[in-house]
Chains A and B, each alone.
Chain A
Amino acid sequence: MEASNGQTTARLSRESDELLIALTTRHADSDAFGVFYDRHHDKVAGWLFSHTGNAAIAEDLAAEAFATALLKVAEFDVRRGNARAWLFGIARVTLLSSYRQHAVEQTARRQLGLIIPSYHDDAWLDAEARLEERLDQLVAGLGELSPDERDAVIRRIVEQRPYSEIASGANTTEPAMRKRVSRALKKLRAWMAGTPE
């Protein structure tokens, strides 16, 4: 039986995220969801850690994100984005929702009747302070960009304007504008990571 489970897992581990999600939805395939969990958990938790700076809280947020993914799995729509992007989207919503309510979101785990691990309130305050700091860093990092780059990033990322519109407003071509935004984001990431170019 275990050997058979191992074979199933090995077979599933070669499949795409989208197929694993489809199997979970259509057949309530727990092996498929298990493989999806194993494939992405550490990265999602790592990403949450990079924002909160606290491993316990990152782990708690990741648990909530995966519980939400399980509850919402039937609503996953591949036309809107791939499964990995969807999962990180859930993680982001979980993080922001927690940030708004000053505590780690627990709705999905409560709904599933999962025991909710506890953490010290101070840990959350630390995490929240770090999030604030990162937002400030982001603002400061924008100040480091050239006016053209800053304008391109704000129009594209914050205001969600199409490249064609931004490019025509700046009297340049769309590919050039894409390159400008990409270069600016790279600079911004480097700035936030403490390694300005």
Chain B
Amino acid sequence: MSGLGRRLAELQAVASFRLRVFHAKALERLARWLDPLAGTDEVRYRSARDLLLDEVAEGFGDPDSRFYVPPWEVPDDDEVEPMDLSLEQAARRDHIRSALVAELTRVGRKRRRRRQVRRHRVTVFACVLLLTAGVVTGGASALLTGSTGSKAIDAFLDLHAAHDETAPMAANPGPGTDTRPSLDSASDPVTLTVPGSSHRALGVTYVSNDGRLCFVIQTAQEPKSADAPDNLLNCSDPSIAYRGITDSPAVVAGSQLHHRLIFAGFARSDVRQLVMKGPPGRLAVSLADAWTPNTPGAVKIRPFFAVAATQFGPDSVTLDEEHGLIDRRRYSLTAIFDDGRIERVPPDTAP
């Protein structure tokens, strides 16, 4: 090929490249502008992750997804020469480091103070909630005494007891139990997002006076009906939780189907995120901060609540539907650890 021909080929290659870059970038910008949740990042990372990750990581493409560069764009350590810094630049680097660390220390101090106040409030809140509600009135008491006042829910409880192979829900804790919270042993409260609803609820786990671990959910904003319990109360023996998380990253300790389907349980302290899927779709899982209950043989645990909007009222759901919704074998639970490991909860312990 002559010199001129080669030059023309080069120019053609450059022009073609520029056109392709322009085209790709324009499309990307347009896609981002139209829908920040779509865009090329999703395609890029989907192709790079295996099926499990793909399944877990629903909703790629938040505006900050551009921070996640593909591996080939990250320089290896030996590809980057550390910069030679002048004294002034080194001082500036150290100044920035100190400022960032100081900011974090300030945030940490503030957070610890807030947590202490919150813990205190939660204990008081749980006491007041149970005492003023009388524990033995309304929905919470219904769960304790074994009757909700609604045939459908009673049937659910029977079904649940028959199929619950992991841990008994304390639908009937028996006489002589004292489910009032003992002082100074409650997890941080966690806000529960209810899918398909703007309502929020508050979930708390605490050690009861009889030494069990209890979950309580306050759903004050829910629409009320005569037989609609506002509160979920569920207690179980702590050894179920401690033994459960020895064998598996997370264990479900109880569940309830009413206006919502709710699961409550415990995860290991190094679990960062839980993903739960089942017949109603994906459940919104809220993990509380790690907490060591004040009980013998206690280990650090993270209580969790999983909520799904079922669209079923307590009296409109058929027994078959109920069975499908609460059959724990139809749910999958996946734990993501702090260090990035992902582990599926074995089927016999999954909800």
| Chain A interface residues (CB < 8 Å from chain B) | 16, 18-19, 22, 24, 26-30, 33-34, 37-38, 41-43, 45-47, 49-50, 55-56, 58-59, 62-63, 66-67, 70, 72, 75, 77-82, 84-86, 88-90, 92-93, 112, 114-115, 117, 139-140, 142-143, 147, 150, 154, 157-160, 162, 185, 189
Contact = CB atoms under 8 A, between A and B. Distances in A.
A50 B81 contact: yes
A18 B338 contact: yes
B219 interface: no
B243 interface: no
Given A89-B69, A143-B14, A37 B108 contact: no
Contact of B82 (A46, A185, A189): A46
Given A46-B81, A55-B84, A185 B73 contact: no
Contact of B69 (A18, A46, A85): A85
Interface in B1-54: 10, 13-14, 17-18, 20-21, 24, 40, 43-45, 47, 49, 53
Among A16, A22, A28, A55, chain B packs the most CB atoms within 10 A around the CB of: A28
A150 B107 CA distance: 50
Contact of A79 (B44, B57, B111, B338): B57
A85 B18 CA distance: 27
Contacts of A160: 24, 40, 43-44
A143 B13 contact: yes
A140 B93 contact: no
A46 B140 CA distance: 61
Contacts of B339: 16, 18-19, 22, 78
Contacts of B101: 30, 33-34, 37
Contacts of B72: 157, 185
B74 A84 contact: yes
Contacts of A154: 17, 20
Interface SS majority for chain A: helix
A66 to B, nearest CB: 6
A118 to B, nearest CB: 11
28 contacts: A22-B338, A26-B338, A28-B105, A33-B104, A37-B100, A46-B83, A47-B75, A50-B81, A55-B86, A58-B83, A70-B103, A75-B62, A79-B49, A79-B53, A84-B74, A85-B71, A86-B67, A86-B68, A86-B69, A89-B66, A112-B103, A114-B99, A143-B14, A147-B13, A150-B17, A158-B17, A159-B20, A185-B72
Contacts of A93: 66-67
A125 B64 CA distance: 28
Interface string B172-209: 00000000000000000000000000000000000000
A165 to B, nearest CB: 9
B3 to A, nearest CB: 14
B16 to A, nearest CB: 8
B89 interface: yes
A19 B57 CA distance: 20
